[in-house]
Chain A
Amino acid sequence: MTFFKKILPYSTFGQLSLALFMICIVSGILLAIPYDVENPYASISLMMLINPAASLFRNIHYWSANIFLIFSLVHIWEHFGMKNKIKIRPSIWFRLSIGVLVVFLAMLTGFLLKADADSLQARRILNELINGIPLIGSFLSTSLLGSSESLQLVYVHHIATFTIFLVIIILEHTRSIWPKLKETVLVTITIIIISFLFETPLHDNLHPVIKGPWYFVGLQEILHWLSTPQVSILLILLFVLLIFIVPFGDKKNQFITKRSLLILTILYLFLTVTGYFFRGPNWQLIWPWNSDYSYYIHNPFKVSGIDFITDKNDIAKASSSSEVFGRIEGCVVCHDNVAGFTVSHTPQTLGCYSCHGGNPYTLSKNNAHRDMVLIPGNLTDVNKTCGVTGCHVEIVNRVNTGLMTTLSGMISVDRYVFNEQDNPDLLTDMHHLGISAADEHLRNLCVRCHLGNPKTETGPVTEKSRGGGCLSCHLNYDSYASTANFEKKLNTNDTTYLQYHASISLQVSDEHCFGCHSRSGRISTNYEGWHETILTVDEAPKNSQYRIVEGTRVFKYINEDVHHQLGINCIDCHNSYELMGDGTYYAHEEEQVNIQCEDCHIVEDPKLIDHSQLDQESAIISALRFGDITGRNYLITGKKNRSLINTYFQKDTAFMVSKNSGKVFAMKEPAEICSRGDVHDNLSCSSCHTGWAPSCIGCHNTYEKEEPGYDMLKNKFIDGSWVEYVGEYHAHAPALGYRENDTEKIVVPVIPGMILTIDVSGYTKSKHDSLIFQRMFAPAAPHTIQAKGRSCKSCHNNPVALGYGKGELKYTIQGAKGIWSFESEYGNNIHDGLPEDSWIGFLQTRTGKVSTRTDVRPFTIDEQKRILTVGACLNCHEEGEQIILETLDNFETSLKKRSSECILPEWENQKNQL
C-alpha cells in the first residue's frame, strides 16, 4: 500500500476502478467488431488465431473488467474506512449497493458471451436459478436471458443495460465519468502488459471440468451444498443488504456489519480458492501432488503471449478451415494435407488438439506446441487424449481395470511363490508394488509388459514394444509413415515425416500382441508354432525351423495352432471387453477371458442376438468393421453373454469373419467323439486339443547386488537386480489337472509354472533366510490347438499327462495281476524327493501349495487309478477299436463284459475299487 501511495499519492481504488471501467468500455466497443453473436465460440477462436489485435483487445477487456470488479469491492471497503467520510445520500448509496450486483451481472453476461462449455452450463444454471424464484422467476429469466438459445439479449444487457446503469451510478456519485490522466495511463500500461502475457480463458469443450467465472466459483461450492439453490439468491441479497446498511448504523453496529462482511468475504475467498484450485472432474477434489493436477485444474491463464507476426497465407488458410467442435484450430495451418488417418480420426473430424493438446488458438509454433502430447494414448495422459469428453471416456476407465493394466495375477502369484502372500488369487495392481523380495523381483524381471508402460518414441509397434496404452494395440504405420519415421531418425532436419501420420485404427494385428505375449506363457509364439529354446543366437541352426526374436531369443518351430494356420488373428476370438477390460477387476486371465471353444464350435442350438440387441460398443465396432449391420445376427458367449461381433449363424452353420482380412470361416461342430457318452464331460476342449505346451523346469533365482538392474515400474536403471538362471525348456503335450471350484469341475492343461528355487538371503542379506523351493504347476491356455485331439494313450498311458513327469510308465501283467510302474527320466529333487519335472509322485498326490491358483490341483490317487485303469485296457486294445469306443458310452458296463484275458491293474495294498 505504501508503494501504491508513493506512485499515486492522491489516488483511490475508486479512481483506479474508474480508469479500468473506461478501458473496459473502449476495449469492449472495439471487440464488438470481430465478435459474432450468432457464432460466438467460433468467432472468438478465429480472432485468437488470426487477429492478434482483436485477441489483445479481448484480453484487455477481460483483465480490465476483472480488476475493475476487485478494485470496486476494495473501493467500497476503502470508503468504509475513510476517517472523513464523504457523505452520500441514502438513495444514491442504495443504487450503489445495487450497483455491486449489477457489476457482477455485467461480468457474468460477459462470461456467457464466450459460449464455450463453461458458459453454456453457466447459462443453464442462471436460467434455472432465476426461474426458481417464486412468482417472478420466469418473468425475470426471460427478461434477462431471453426465451431462445440465442445470446442476443444477453449481449444487449451486457453492452447496454448493465453498462448504462453503471455509468449512471458512477456519474451520480463521482460527478465525473472521466478518470484522471495519470491513473488512466498507469492502469492502461499495466493492463496491456498483463494482456500481452496472459490469455483470456476459453474452454476447449473437451475438458471434463466445468467451472463458472472465478468470482462465482465460491458460489458454485455453496450451491453444491444447497438442494434448494434459490437460497443462494438470499445470500447474495444479504451481502448487498449488509453493504447498504453499513453507513447508517451507530459505531457499534457499523463495526458488527463490517466485521460480518469481512468474515463472509474471507469465507467466500476460501471457497473460491478450494473450488478454483482443488476441484477436479466429477466434483472430485484433486490435490497438487496428484499427477494430473495441472491438467484437471486447467490453469486457464496460459502464458503464451500474443504473436503479432502472422503470414497472410496462414491467415487465409486458417480463415478457410472448417470448424471442429465449434472452433477453428491453428494446427491445421502448418499441418495440412497430412495423410494416413482413419476416417474417424481425421483432422477434419477431430482436429489435432483433441488428441495432442497444446494450444489450438495460435499460429505461433512455440505457443501451439507448448504442453502438447507428442504421443497420445499412453495411460498416464489418456484422460486428456483418447479419453476426453465425448470420445472414449468409458473405455479408458475400463482399461484401468483390465489385467493387462493391473497385472494382478502376475503380481499375486509371484508374491505367493516368494511366500509373501498366502493366496495367489488376491486382487492387486502394479501401482501397489512396494519394496519386498517379490516386488523387487517383479520390478526387475516382470512388470515391463503392462499397458501403462508409456510409449516414448514415435514409430510402429514392434516385437520389442511394451505397453503404450491405447497405442499398444491401435497404432498402425503404413509403409509411407514407416519410411518417413525412419528417415526422420536418420536426419532430424528432414521434415517429410510430418506429411505422414500413423493411423489409429481397429486393425489390431497379431504383431501388436506379440511384444508382451511372446514372453512368460509365450502365447503369441506358441500360436505361430514357435517354441523358445535355451540356444544362443550363434548356436541356432540357420534354417527355417529356427527363428530369432528380439535379436537374442532362439525359437524352434514345433507346430502352429490350427486357427493360426487358417489365418485367424488374436482379435478374431478376443473381443473388446476381454482386451480392454469390462470394468471388473479380475485376479487371473482365465477370469477375464470370455471366449470359450464351444461359443463357436456349437454342439446344441446357438445362442444368438440380433443387431438391435448389441451393446453400444459392440454395435459401433461392428458397424465400423462391417458397414450396415441391419439384419445381422451374432453369436454370444456362454460365459458372460458378450456378443461376438464377427460371427453370424446361417443355414445351420456358424460363421466367423476375420476382423482384419475379411476372410470368412465356417465353424465346425465338435467331432462326434467329443460328445459321445458322458465319461469325458468334464474335460475342457483344450485338454485334448492342445498340441503342445512350453514348459521350463529347474529355474533358480537369486539377487545379485553388483548386477546392473532396471526398475521396470519406474523405468530407470538401478544397482542390484534379481537374476534368473533358467533350467530346461521343453515342448510336449501338457500335463492335466483339475480346476475345481463352486461353479465347475473341469480337467484343464497345466504346465510346470513354478518349479524353482529362490535364494532370498541374497536380497534380505539375512543369513536366517533360507532357500525357497516351490513345485507348482499353472493352468495354461497354450494356444497350440490342433484339429485332431490327443490320442487316448497320450493321456491314459502318459506319465507327463498324469503329472509324474517324463519317464517310462509301464503296465506289466504277471499271471493274473496287472501292475503299473513308473521310472522317472529325471532324478529326484533334493528338496522334496520328487522327480525334477513332476507335479506329483507316481500314484501319489499333493495338496496345499501345488498350483498357482487355489482352485487347480493334480489328480487324486483315486482319479489316477481310474485313468490308469483305462490305460491298462489301452495296453492291449487299439484306441480305435469298437470295444474302446463303447467304453465312452458306459465304462462300467464295458468292464463287466471283459474277457478273462483282460487283466485289470491291482493297486498296492488295495483291491480294485472301480
Chain B
Amino acid sequence: MKSGKNSRRYFLKTAGSLIGAVCLGLWGSMVNSQQKNISKKTISISLNDNRTVLFHDDYIIINKEQLLVLSSYCTHLGCKIQTFEDGELICPCHGSSFDLDGNPIKGPAIKPLKKFEYSTNMETKTLTIKI
C-alpha cells in the first residue's frame, strides 16, 4: 500500500472524476429526456391557394402548380427566410437564396430547404402540416 497522502489524493481524484462523470451522465440523460419531449408538431391552417409564397415562422407555403411546404430555416445556419424577391427566397443573414422548389441558387447554403409533409382537406379548406 502506498503512502496515505498519495493514497488519499488518488482516492479523492478518482472519486471526483467519478462524481463528475456521473453528473455529466445525469446531465446528458436529463437533456436527452427533455429533447424526447419535443414531438413532431402538427399544424392546421386555412388553405389559401391564392398566395404564391406565404411565410410563417417555421415554414413557407409555396403555391405553384403543386402545393409545397418548405422549412423556413435556411439550410446554412437556420436563419428564418422571410423575403421573396425576383423569384427567389432570400435568407437575410448570410445571403443564401433558393428557388421555389427549395433548391439553393446562391450560397453559402448548399442543401435544399427541407420539405414538410402535408395534407389538404378541400371540404374544410384546411392545410395540415407535420413539422
Seen from chain A, the residues whose Cβ lies within 8 Å of a Cβ on chain B are: 120-121, 124-125, 127-129, 138-139, 142-143, 147, 208-210, 220, 223-227, 229, 281-283, 389-390, 393-394, 397, 583, 611-616, 618-620
Residues of the A chain whose Cβ atoms lie less than 8 Å from the Cβ of B49: 612-614
B130 within 8 A of A: no
Q: Known contacts A282-B92, A618-B50; is A128 also within 8 Å of B78 by CB?
A: yes
Tell which of B27, B28, B79 has the most Cβ of chain A within 10 Å.
Answer: B79
- Whether A121 contacts B76 by the Cβ 8 Å rule is no
**B107 beta carbon closer than 8 Å to chain A:** yes
| Contact partners of A121 in chain B: CB under 8 A | 79-80, 92-93
Q: B51 to chain A: which residues have CB within 8 Å?
A: 616, 619
Kindly state the separation between the CA atoms of A287 and B1 in the bound complex, as whole angstroms: 76
Which of B27, B35, B92, B108 has a CB less than 8 Å from the CB of A223?
B108
Which A residue sits closest to B54, measured CB to CB? A616
- Measured in the bound complex, the distance between the Cα atoms of B92 and A435 in whole Å is 39
* Contact between chains at B108 and A128 (CB < 8 Å): no
Closest Cβ of chain B: how far from A292's Cβ, in Å?
Answer: 16
With known contacts A147-B35, A619-B50, A125–B79 Cβ distance under 8 A: yes
A125 and B50 contact, Cβ closer than 8 Å, known pairs A138-B35, A142-B35, A227-B110:
no
**Nearest-CB residue, chain A, relative to B108:** A227
- Is B45's CB within 8 Å of the partner chain A? no
Residue pairs across A and B with Cβ atoms less than 8 A apart, 6 shown, are A121-B93, A124-B79, A139-B32, A143-B27, A281-B92, A619-B51
In the complex, per-residue mask of B42-60: 1 if CB is within 8 Å of any chain A CB, else 0: 0000001111111000000
- Contacts A223-B77, A224-B94, A611-B50: A389 and B82 contacting too (C-beta < 8 A)? yes
A283 to B109 CA separation, bound complex (whole angstroms): 13
| Chain A residue, CB-CB nearest to B72 | A124
**Chain B residues near A227 (CB-CB < 8 A):** 76, 107-110
The smallest C-beta distance from A398 to any residue of chain B, in angstroms, reads 10
Interface of B is mostly: loop
Residues of chain B lying within 8 A (CB to CB) of residue A281: 92
Complex formed: what's the CA distance from A770 to B108 in Å?
Answer: 59
**Complex alpha-carbon distance, A223 and B51, angstroms:** 32
User: With A393-B85, A612-B49 as given contacts, are A223 and B94 in contact (CB-CB < 8 Å)?
Assistant: yes
CB closest residue in chain A, given B125: A630
> What 10 A-B pairs are tightest by C-beta distance, nearest first?
A283-B95, A619-B50, A128-B78, A616-B51, A612-B49, A210-B92, A124-B78, A224-B94, A125-B77, A128-B77
Interface membership of B86, Cβ < 8 A: yes
Q: Which of A229, A282, A583, A612 contacts B90 (CB 8 A)?
A: A282
A109 to B52, CA, bound (A): 37
Q: Select one of A143, A225, A615 contacting B50, CB under 8 A.
A: A615
Min C-beta distance of A651 to chain B, whole Å: 26
Interchain CB contact under 8 A, A124 and B95: no
Give Cα A615 to B95, complex, Å: 27
Q: Which secondary structure dominates where chain A touches chain B?
A: helix
Kindly state the separation between the CA atoms of A282 and B105 in the bound complex, as whole angstroms. Answer: 14
Q: Which of B79-131 contact A (CB under 8 A)?
A: 79-80, 82-86, 90, 92-95, 107-110
CB-nearest residue of chain B to A129: B77
B residues within 8 Å of A by Cβ? Answer: 27-28, 31-32, 34-35, 37-38, 48-54, 63, 73, 76-80, 82-86, 90, 92-95, 107-110
A393 to B88, CA, bound (A): 13
The complex places the Cα of A750 from the Cα of B34 at a distance, in Å, of 76
Complex CA–CA separation, A907 to B84 (angstroms): 64
Residue of B nearest to A583 (CB): B86
Are B50 and A209 interface neighbours, CB within 8 A? no
| In the complex, residue of chain A having the shortest beta-carbon distance to the beta carbon of B48 | A619
A210-B79, A223-B108, A225-B108 known, 15 other contacts, Cβ within 8 Å:
A124-B78, A125-B77, A127-B78, A143-B31, A147-B38, A209-B92, A223-B76, A224-B94, A227-B109, A397-B86, A613-B49, A615-B52, A616-B51, A616-B54, A618-B50
Chain A, residue nearest B82 (CB): A389
Contact of B83 among A127, A142, A229, A393 (CB under 8 A): A393
A224 touches B95 (CB 8 A): yes
Could you tell me if A616 and B50 are in contact, using CB atoms closer than 8 angstroms? Answer: yes
The answer on a CB contact under 8 Å between A229 and B92 is no
What are the residues of chain A within 8 A of B76 when measuring CB–CB? 223, 227, 229
Report the bound CA distance from A542 to B7 in whole Å: 120
CB atoms of A389 and B83 under 8 A apart: yes
Closest A residue to B63 by CB, please name it.
A616
**B contact residues around A129 at 8 Å (CB):** 77
Nearest-Cβ distance from residue B106 to partner chain A, whole angstroms: 9
Q: How far is the CA of A208 from the CA of B85 in the complex (A)?
A: 12
- With A147-B35, A227-B107, A611-B50 as given contacts, are A210 and B93 in contact (CB-CB < 8 Å)? yes
- Alpha-carbon separation in the docked complex, A209 to B82 (Å): 12
- Which one, B31, B63, B93, B108, contacts A226 given CB within 8 A? B108
Question: In the complex, what residues of B have CB within 8 A of residue A124's CB?
Answer: 73, 77-80
Kindly state the separation between the CA atoms of A389 and B110 in the bound complex, as whole angstroms: 25
From B48, B78, B108, contact of A224 by CB (8 A)? B108
Contact at B27–A612, with CB atoms within 8 Å? Answer: no
